[in-house]
Amino acid sequence: MQARTVLVLGAGPGGSAAAQHLRHYLPDGDRVVVVDRTDRQTLGISHLLVMRGWLEPDAASISVRDALPQGVEFVQAEVQGIDTGARRVRTSAGEIAYDALLVALGADLRPDLIPGLKEAIDANAAEEFYSLSGAWRLNRRLESFSGGRVCIIVSRLPYKCPPAPYEAALLIADRLRERGVTCGVQIDLFTPEPSPIAAGGPEMGQTIRSMLQEQGITVHTGEELSAVDHEQRSATFASGRTESWDLLVVVPPHAAPSVLTESGLIESGWLVADRDTLRTEIDGIWAIGDSSAVHTANGMPLPKAAVFATAEAEAAARDIARTLGATAPEPAFEGIGHCWFIVADGMAGYIEGRFLDPPGPKLQLHPASADNFAAMQAELQDWSEQARRR
């Protein structure tokens, strides 16, 4: 049998997990090739730890090349175009032909989509923590912040790691309190959602709102950012509301990588994938993780989180292997997941649930404890060590 090539675009948690499963299911003669522009992989929760000062940036990532299993080829290059008819991908390192293509390119941060936001970040007038460098820069700002109004703004929906902005607000308050900066400090969080983590329902939203209020943080829902003026230190919302700030922390708009749109894979928004097989409507292409959209029973998109990307990776790898004639179990993606919810130094809760069950997601927020914080640290350590042992 002629050797086939399965090409994985993206080496984040989802892409790397998919490559590992594909290598397990496919014959040794078949190629598994992973392409990514960087050799570093991080987990989103690490950015919060860097922001809070509990983790150095260098310790927050691992080498993709070292972590991928034997028999998986890694190409460090920029994906420049996808020819679905010829089944070829153009990269900065040359063209690669594929028999099956798995898209796991993640979501790009696009501050340029909000007038004035990119300029504010470039001028060091606004901060973000969704990149490793941004998380570290925000950490430095928190170390010198002497008081005033902190505005944390979720600019657009959807975004990665839905609990992260609420955790960030709590951790910012926790760090300022630890430094003794309490007088004259006001922290406000603005989100387009009707309630905090709306997928969890009104009860969870009220629990999180109360949790933040206990720490002096005010939550403003239904507010979508429309513009930022860093010279005036003001933020304007679609409602017409304008707010001033001394420290602005923004979750930038997220978007699927432009190469997917330019290659004709996306008409609007995200690359839609079947919830069971992760197949797209384009023959020979599967999609997982943050650049994809899998819809829940109530029609809402599945949250963008690593826990789902890695579970989707297993289902997609099975379906790809079976499509190519290899032996693999039936694909099964159940949409079960959990994520940590850090509230203070040494204290964390977690959210868990079944996201694909009808009529909609069923979630539960478990209270914060020192044991949960220790379990979170152990999980991160295990992820790092397992990746290095592959």
| pLDDT, tens digit, 9 for 90 and up, residues 216-246 | 999 999 999 999 999 999 999 999 999 999 9
pLDDT at site 360: 87
Which one of 199, 232, 253 terminates a domain? 253
On whether residue 319 sits in a domain, the answer given is: yes
Residue 389 has pLDDT above 60, yes or no: no
Residues 200 and 322 in one domain: no
pLDDT at site 308: 95
pLDDT at site 386: 64
| Average of per-residue pLDDT across 185-201 | 95
Kindly report the average pLDDT of the chain as a whole number.
95
Identify the CA nearest to 75 among candidates 47, 98, 53.
98
pLDDT in tens, 297-330: 888 889 999 999 999 999 999 999 999 999 999 9
Residues 119 and 235 in one domain: yes
Asked if 340 and 301 count as a contact pair (C-beta separation under 8 A), the reply is no
**Main-chain phi, psi angles of 55, to 5 degrees:** -145, 130
Residue 291 has pLDDT above 60, yes or no: yes
CA distance 154 to 257: 20
Residues 101 and 128 in one domain: no
The whole domain housing 15 covers 5-107+256-336
Q: Which two tokens stand for residue 241?
A: 């509301």
CA distance 262 to 250: 27
Q: Which pTM was predicted?
A: 0.95
Residue 44 has pLDDT above 90, yes or no: no
Using left for φ > 0, alpha for ψ between -120 and 50, and beta otherwise, residue 82 falls in beta
Is the dihedral angle over the CA atoms 166, 168, 173, 174 positive or is it negative?
Answer: positive
Residue 121 has pLDDT above 70, yes or no: yes
Residue 384 has pLDDT above 80, yes or no: no
pLDDT at site 82: 98
Which one of 309, 336, 363 terminates a domain? 336
Residues 173 and 228 in one domain: yes
Residue 387 has pLDDT above 90, yes or no: no
Residue 182 has pLDDT above 90, yes or no: no
Q: What is the CATH number of the domain that holds 169?
A: 3.50.50.60
pLDDT band at 1 (very low <50, low <70, confident <90, very high): low
Residue 359 has pLDDT above 80, yes or no: yes
Residues 132 and 83 in one domain: no
CA distance 134 to 276: 35
Residues 283 and 311 in one domain: yes
CA distance 14 to 106: 9
- Quote the crossing angle between the two packed helices 164-179 and 132-144, to the nearest 10°: 30
Residue 60 DSSP symbol: S
Q: How many CB atoms lie within 10 A of CB 7?
A: 26
Residues 118 and 46 in one domain: no
Identify the CA nearest to 278 among candidates 334, 339, 324, 359.
334
The helix (run of H) or strand (run of E) holding residue 322 is helix 306-323
Q: Which two tokens stand for residue 203?
A: 């009860």
Residues 57 and 176 in one domain: no
pLDDT at site 159: 96
pLDDT in tens, 45-77: 999 999 999 999 988 999 999 889 999 999 999
CA distance 30 to 313: 18
On whether residue 284 sits in a domain, the answer given is: yes
